[in-house]
């Protein structure tokens, strides 16, 4: 009886957005009298930080710092339609809608600034700090604060914009299955190392090294939290979780966290995250949806690592100590 070590690899891809498209999201953007910007959506922030990302996308497009943008969302009386936060679609779909709305608002903002500066709007640029400058003559400038005041009180303009993003729905061909499931895919490759106790069947995950290609890390710290959390969830799916431990038997289902097993902090592996960026053609600033993808490759990587360690295949999830021990016994009997 011994502790045996193994490692396994898995490589995957994952579609961004609702399968087959047809899932719209709309956005509105407007300025306040003093040049702050309000993004109005009905999208839901599930805790992944969608509001923060939409603020950064709007700020980048308008040309102001992120703290000048407020996001009002998840209210059906004010926010235009969003299909929902699922299918790794939030950042991609809502982000594109926010960009379109912000571009329209930016154009009005530049037109008002052009009138104030007596130049053509096409000759203006933003400095990202809240100012509008004449290209090539940055000493000639006006603050966005003053432009918004002018628009509201002097020129009677609404610095606002409407945005929408919709990938037309694809219908699978009945006989061949010809279809367009998605417009862009995120990618991953994970290598996991485990130790398996061949006396108890217990698996200790030593390291999980994940390489994720996500199009663009719009906010590196925030995507890191999502990728690390996903990697942990992958371990949990591989080795611990189910509501029906003896599926298809319905008995023994957990009803609280004492019975429904998940890894605790001590059970989580040393986790490494490496991000590659291949900007997507239709993503907001190149982003793809990494939300679901990042929890998938750990499961087969761990299954393969267990085989590498003790030479038995567990083809039924979750890979519990009971299943490993039964397989080891069957192997010894043969």
Partner 1 sequence: MELRKSYFADVRKDDLHEIGQPRPRSDSPGHVTGKTAFFADRNFPGMLHLKMVRSPHHHARIRSIDTSEAEKHPGVVKIITAKDVPHNVYTILILIQIGPEDETVLADGKVRWKGEAVVAVLAETERAAQEAAAKVKVDYEVLPAVFDMEEALKPGAPLVNEFHGQNYYLYDSGECRKVRFGDVEAGFAAADHVLEQSYQSSPIEHAPTETTGCVVAPEGNDRFTCYTNTQAMFFTLDNASIILQMPGNKLHFVGGTVGGGFGGKVDVIVEPIAILGAKLTGRPVSFIYSREEEMQISSPRAAEKVVIRDGVMKDGRIVARKVTGYTDAGAYSRHSPYGAQKGAGHYPGPYTIPNVWIDTYCVYTNRTPSSAMRGFGVTIGDFALEVQMDKLARLIGMDPLEFRFINAYRDGDMKAHRQPTEGAALIECMQEASRAANWPVAEKFMAMSSYVKGA
Distance CA 26, CA 166 (A): 9
Under a CB-based contact definition with an 8 Å cutoff, are residues 189 and 254 in contact?
no
Report in angstroms how near the CB of residue 240 gets to partner 1 at its nearest: 10
Nearer to partner 1, 60 or 197 (CB): 60
Report in angstroms how near the CB of residue 313 gets to partner 1 at its nearest: 7
Report in angstroms how near the CB of residue 139 gets to partner 1 at its nearest: 21
Report in angstroms how near the CB of residue 155 gets to partner 1 at its nearest: 27
Of 152, 78, 54, 57, nearest to 112 by C-alpha is: 152
Question: What is the CA 105 to chain-centroid distance, rounded?
Answer: 26
Nearer to partner 1, 14 or 165 (CB): 14
Nearer to partner 1, 150 or 233 (CB): 233
Strand 185-197 relative to strand 203-213: parallel, antiparallel, unpaired? antiparallel
Nearer to partner 1, 33 or 47 (CB): 47
Report in angstroms how near the CB of residue 303 gets to partner 1 at its nearest: 5
Those residues whose C-beta lies under 8 Å from the C-beta of residue 210, and which sit 6 or more positions away, are 188, 189, 190, 227, 231, 271, 272, 273, 274, 294, 297, 298
Nearer to partner 1, 150 or 294 (CB): 294
Report in angstroms how near the CB of residue 61 gets to partner 1 at its nearest: 9
Nearer to partner 1, 30 or 180 (CB): 180
CA distance readout (Å), 194 to 158, 271, 272, 322:
60, 13, 15, 17
Helix (H/G/I), strand (E/B), else coil: 247: coil
Distance CA 58, CA 237 (A): 36
Those residues whose C-beta lies under 8 Å from the C-beta of residue 186, and which sit 6 or more positions away, are 13, 14, 16, 88, 212, 213, 214, 215, 288, 289, 290, 293
Report in angstroms how near the CB of residue 236 gets to partner 1 at its nearest: 9
Nearer to partner 1, 153 or 174 (CB): 174
Distance CA 146, CA 130 (A): 10
Give the residue carrying structure tokens 């960009």.
Answer: 99
Nearer to partner 1, 161 or 291 (CB): 291
187 — phi, psi (to 5°)?
Answer: -135, 160
Report in angstroms how near the CB of residue 160 gets to partner 1 at its nearest: 20
Number of other CB atoms surrounding residue 244 within 10 Å: 12
């Amino acid at each position: 009886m011994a502790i045996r070590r193994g490692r396994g690899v898995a490589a995957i891809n994952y579609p961004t957005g609702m399968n087959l498209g047809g899932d719209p999201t709309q956005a509105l953007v407007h300025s306040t009298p003093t040049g702050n910007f309000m993004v109005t959506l009905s999208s839901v922030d599930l805790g992944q930080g969608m509001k923060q990302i939409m603020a950064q996308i709007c700020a980048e497009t308008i040309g102001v710092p992120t703290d000048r943008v407020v996001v009002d969302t998840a209210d059906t009386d004010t926010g235009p339609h969003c299909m929902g936060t699922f299918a790794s679609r939030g950042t991609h779909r809502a982000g594109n809608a926010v960009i379109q709305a912000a571009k329209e608002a930016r154009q009005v903002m530049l037109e008002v600034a052009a009138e104030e500066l007596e130049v053509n709007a096409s000759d203006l640029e933003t400095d990202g700090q809240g100012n509008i400058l004449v290209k090539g003559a940055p000493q000639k400038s006006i603050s966005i604060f003053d432009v918004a005041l002018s628009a509201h009180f002097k020129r009677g303009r609404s610095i606002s914009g409407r945005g929408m993003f919709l990938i037309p729905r694809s219908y699978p061909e009945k006989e061949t299955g010809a279809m367009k499931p998605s417009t862009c895919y995120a990618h991953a490759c994970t290598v996991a190392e485990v130790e398996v106790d061949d006396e108890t069947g217990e698996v200790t995950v030593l390291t999980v090294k994940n390489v994720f290609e996500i199009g663009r890390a719009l906010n590196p710290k925030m995507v890191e939290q999502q990728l690390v959390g996903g990697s942990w969830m992958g371990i949990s799916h591989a080795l611990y979780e189910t509501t029906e431990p003896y599926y298809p038997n319905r008995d023994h289902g957990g009803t609280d966290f004492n019975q429904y097993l998940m890894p605790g902090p001590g059970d989580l592996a040393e986790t490494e995250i490496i991000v590659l960026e291949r900007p997507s053609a239709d993503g907001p600033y190149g982003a793809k949806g990494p939300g679901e993808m990042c929890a998938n490759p750990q499961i087969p990587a761990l299954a393969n690592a267990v085989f590498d360690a003790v030479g038995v295949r567990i083809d039924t999830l979750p890979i519990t100590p009971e299943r490993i021990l039964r397989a080891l016994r069957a192997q010894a009997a043969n």
